[in-house]
Amino acid sequence: MKKLIAVIFLFASVGVYLVINFPSDERKVKEYAENEYGIDVEVKKVSNEGFGSDDTYVVFPENHEDLEFAITFPNGDGVITDNYARALAADEKLHQLKKVMPGIKDLGFGASDNGKLKVSFVKIGKEPSENKYLVNLSSPKPIKIAKFEKEDLNRYFKLLILIQESRAEVNRVYITDKRGPVDRNTIALNMDKLKNVKTKEDLLFHLKRFNWEFASYYANKKWESEKEKIENGRFRFGSEYDDYWFRCGELNEQEECTSILALVKFKENSLNKQNVYLKEDLTSILHFFDRIAPMANIEYRFTEEGSNESKIFTEYEIKKYHDISAFIDKNLK
């Protein structure tokens, strides 16, 4: 009996020693936050990418759920890291934005993170100034590019003014409508580029430059009548799966596309060497896009009616050949 009591006492002593000297992971996290920043934290979740990888704990200070940050414990030798400083900066920006949130809601916008306003951040370099702070908003009203200038530009301009007045130095604001994944649109406000914007017209120009759907809509509209002159019964521009007959990735200061995806559909069984008109049609297509965007990087996506297969060529690949006939001979059957 005495031996049994001694064994129980020994195991109990070892258990106490382990509790005292080998704290649980959660205790280690709490101790780290207390020692480094003098704050008591709650652990929200822990993530691990697999065997041998580091454990990352998402935590927040007690009574301050908005201030989420991550603490990473290395597996083996290494230094414990955290992103508290960046999270603290995001939290400060969040509280500045909250001051104008009532006005933002009055304009018909909301917070997209389950109705809760949040400032997230991404690290793009080692220096604090290289962090990017992002805000996501929602729009119950669908974003329709064709009607935007007439119906919504004034509202988005007021949104921009409110964000600027908050003095929250965020880098990007994304507004996404609430339609399904296939139909929804997103507008990106590059706040770094909008500091000197003072008019609605300036904002629209910014949207054309840095949102590909705006760039595509206005570029397509500009060249629509010319496109109709080029098309013939052998080919047409566009695709039934795309809203734009060519996509413009971005506009430069002169409102010229700097990158283009051109969609061209040919008649069935005509994208081949046997089509005697193919050289003429390809020449017409290439010259047309040279006029639209002489300095752009252009990718052509050629398809045939009745086929889901595409032949994709860059302008550079095509122009490596001394003429269109040589390109056709080498690349088409």
- The domain that holds 322 is classified in CATH as 3.30.300
Same-domain pairing of 220 and 135: no
Last residue of a domain, one of 194, 210, 226: 210
Do 179 and 166 share a structural domain? yes
Which distant-in-sequence residues (6+ apart) come within 8 Å of 257 by Cβ?
Answer: 215, 219, 248, 249, 250, 251, 292, 293, 296
Please say which residue of 180, 210, 240 terminates a domain.
210
Q: Residue 221 has what pLDDT?
A: 96
- pLDDT (0 to 100) of residue 4: 41
pLDDT at 125: 58
Entry pTM = 0.81
Whether 304 and 271 share a structural domain: yes
Categorise residue 280: left if φ over 0, alpha if ψ from -120 to 50, beta otherwise. Answer: alpha
* Token pair listed for 138: 């929602």
- Domains contained in the chain, number: 3
pLDDT for the residue 27: 87
pLDDT tens track, the chain, 333 positions: 444 444 434 434 433 333 333 345 788 899 999 999 999 999 988 877 665 577 889 999 998 988 999 999 887 777 888 999 999 999 999 999 999 999 999 999 998 877 789 899 887 655 555 688 999 999 999 999 999 999 999 999 999 999 999 999 999 999 999 888 888 999 999 999 999 898 999 999 999 999 999 999 999 999 999 999 999 999 999 988 899 999 999 888 888 999 999 999 999 999 999 999 999 999 999 999 999 998 899 999 999 998 888 999 999 999 899 899 999 999 998
What pLDDT, on the 0 to 100 scale, is given for residue 52? 58
Q: Quote the pLDDT of residue 14.
A: 38
What pLDDT does 200 receive? Answer: 96
Domain, as residue range, for 327: 214-331
93 and 204 part of one domain: yes
Is 8 inside any structural domain? no
The domain boundary, picked from 210, 244, 263, lies at 210
Residues 41 and 157 both lie in one domain: no
Q: Say if 142 falls within a structural domain.
A: yes
Residue that is written with structure tokens 């080029």 in the block: 230
Cβ proximity of 111 and 118 under 8 Å: yes
